[in-house]
Structure 1
Amino acid sequence: MYLKNFKQWLKCATVRAIKTIAQTAVSTIGVTAMMDEVNWVAVVSASLLSGILSMLTSISGLPEVKEDTTNAKGN
């Protein structure tokens, strides 16, 4: 029961983190490109940090993952 919810949570949280990483990379590239040179170290580090923060934020819950409100006895 919990393993199924964990797999669903992991999948949803990973998708969110990947989207967050991509959004951060695009915005960071755009900002640094305006300064004449893309700082790839800054792009990668900011993007990875945003992905980690996204996963940590997802621990509090995801609307895509339904919580099982029944206990082990089916009540």
Structure 2
Amino acid sequence: MSKKWLKAAGVRALKTMAQTAGATIGTSMVLSEVDWVAVASASILAGILSLLTSLAGLPEVKEV
């Protein structure tokens, strides 16, 4: 794994985590009812799954 791959996979994972957090927070009726532990755990899991998916290849990183 190159630095370029790690950077691309990391950026992709962070974007996935942000999207998951937004979707999880959006399921609450009001901000005071947000289950922050569920938001964090779902977002972390999404980030891990994104990194694992990236092992199959990243189109933005050309293989040499």
TM-score, normalisation: structure 1: 0.79
Match of 1:34 among 7, 19, 29: 29
- How far apart are the structure 2 equivalents of 1:49 and 1:34? 23
Q: Shift of the alpha carbon at 1:34?
A: 2.0
Percent identical among aligned pairs is: 67
Partner of 2:49: 53
- How far apart are the structure 2 equivalents of 1:49 and 1:56? 11
Q: Shift of the alpha carbon at 1:6?
A: 1.1
- Superposed CA offset, 1:27-65 (max 9, x none): 00000x227610001000000000000000000000000
Equivalent pairs, count? 63
CA root-mean-square deviation: 1.4
Letter in 2 for 1:12: A
Partner of 2:13: 17
User: Which consecutive aligned stretches of 4+ in structure 1 deviate over 3 angstroms post-superposition?
Assistant: none
Point out the structure with max Rg over C-alpha.
Answer: 1
- How far apart are the structure 1 equivalents of 2:48 and 2:2? 18
